[in-house]
Amino acid sequence: MSESSDVESQVTAGVPPLRPAERELLAVFDRLAPQGSVRWAFEDAMARLDREHGTPPWAGLPPDLWERGRGAQVGQRLVGDVVVALADVLAGDARRVAEEGVDVRLRAAWDALRYLAARVETLEARIDPGGQAVPDLASMVPHPDLGPLLEEVGDWLPLSDPHGTVLDGECGDGALSAALARGGSAVHGVDPRPRTAWTVLDARAVSGLPTVPTVPTTVTCAEVVDVLDAGAPASLAGVVLRGCVDRADLPGKVRLAGAVARTLVAGGAVAVVTMDRRSFEDRCPAGVRELLPGTPIAPEAWSLLLERTGYEVLGTRTAGSTHVVTARRQR
């Protein structure tokens, strides 16, 4: 056509598949889509009540409701606001149904209510401080260094099934994942730090970055608790928790312990790798520290927490400022 036609056409006949790091990078975005969330489903249910039946369109819940609903102790208020909104619709419907003998809208409204009732538990679970964390904060927080304990993982993480799946959260540079894999485990690495996950997955492809061990694992770039929540019950032989346990506040720590218990097989092992609080505070920039929901707790406190949430505590190891508290899910 024009003189430009030979300039620039790079349409490729066949596009190579995504590299693992790229696939995970895009998956991070896909996981932000609201489908299946309480908000998405509720708004959809309300939208079905609109228009075609001649009433004013559903204008949506108050714009700040969902943000308010994410704070602690506001679950009841959120549900209350939703129920009030539904009640308004139902009151109008009742009149209309009586007048017209049409039950379409009423059925849709009841669908919405039933859905809401079924999801209240999920709703409450979603109202967690973790959801309010400052984005990418994990990248600015010190992570415990296993040091000599790294190669002794087979000793401090006693797996009843040596070939079972171990969740390594947060896997960092993948060194522990590699050690676990060498011991025969299938390893699922999880890390919320996109740059870390990218580096681990793409070590060979990215020039100029430090060499990292070749890790035969799946790596998911997400918060550990979210991956545990989405995991199948009794599916893991072992779980290692690092980083997330030091940043989470106390309810977050309890929630992590509960989420691990749900996903471990009977007799499965959990290791909580935590930093000495003083060392953590020394290494954590002051500004970052103030943004964190929580700080490390003593290994004795972890032992008590795990015991009270149904684990058999096996012991604590210490190397420098790092403590590893190991426990087993009771059979």
Partner 1 sequence: MSGAGGPGVHQLVPMLHRRDAVGEHVLAIQSLLAGAGVPSRIYVDRADPETAALTRPYRAYEDDAVPGDVLVYQFATGSEIAGWLLGRSEPLVVNYHGVTPPDHFTAWNNSIVRLQAACLAQLTLLAPRSALGIATSMMTARELEATGYRRTTVVPVLAASRRLGEPDAAMLADLRTTDGDGVRTWLSVGRLAPNKAHHQVVAALFAHHMGGGHPTRFLIVGAPTEPHYASALQRYAALLGLSGAVRLLSGLSDRELAACYEVADVLVLVSDHEGFGVPLVEAMRQRVPVVAFDAGAVAESLGGAGVLVGDKRPSSLAATIDSVVGDRDRTARLVEAGTARVTALEAQRADRAILAALGTVTAVTPGAAMLPGGGPPVAAGSVDWDG
Binding site residues, partner 1, CB under 8 A:
1-5, 7-13, 15-16, 18-19, 22, 25-26, 28-30, 32-35, 40, 43-44, 47, 51, 135-136, 139, 192, 194-195, 198-199, 202, 205-209
Task: Work out how close the CB of 16 gets to partner 1 at its nearest, in angstroms, rounded to a whole number.
Answer: 7
Residue 262: which of 289, 225, 294, 290 has the closest Cα?
Answer: 225
End-to-end CA distance of the chain: 74
Nearer to partner 1, 69 or 238 (CB): 69
Nearer to partner 1, 46 or 239 (CB): 46
The contacts of residue 262 (CB under 8 Å, 6+ apart) are 228, 233, 234
Residue 273: which of 137, 162, 179, 161 has the closest Cα?
Answer: 179
Rounded CA separation 124/3 (Å) = 62
Task: Work out how close the CB of 58 gets to partner 1 at its nearest, in angstroms, rounded to a whole number.
Answer: 9
Nearer to partner 1, 46 or 284 (CB): 46
Task: Work out how close the CB of 135 gets to partner 1 at its nearest, in angstroms, rounded to a whole number.
Answer: 3
Task: Work out how close the CB of 124 gets to partner 1 at its nearest, in angstroms, rounded to a whole number.
Answer: 21
Nearer to partner 1, 203 or 228 (CB): 203
Nearer to partner 1, 192 or 299 (CB): 192
Task: Work out how close the CB of 26 gets to partner 1 at its nearest, in angstroms, rounded to a whole number.
Answer: 6
Task: Work out how close the CB of 34 gets to partner 1 at its nearest, in angstroms, rounded to a whole number.
Answer: 5
Task: Work out how close the CB of 141 gets to partner 1 at its nearest, in angstroms, rounded to a whole number.
Answer: 13
Nearer to partner 1, 131 or 233 (CB): 131
DSSP string, 140-175: GS-----GGGGGGHHHHS--SSTTSEEEEET-TTSH
Rounded CA separation 82/89 (Å) = 11
> Would you put residue 31 in left (φ > 0), alpha (ψ -120 to 50) or beta?
alpha
**One-letter amino acid of 34:** P
Nearer to partner 1, 34 or 147 (CB): 34
Task: Work out how close the CB of 54 gets to partner 1 at its nearest, in angstroms, rounded to a whole number.
Answer: 11
Say if residue 172 is exposed, middle or buried (CB neighbours under 10 Å; 0-12, 13-18, 19+). buried
Nearer to partner 1, 41 or 179 (CB): 41
Rounded CA separation 296/250 (Å) = 10
The contacts of residue 113 (CB under 8 Å, 6+ apart) are 86
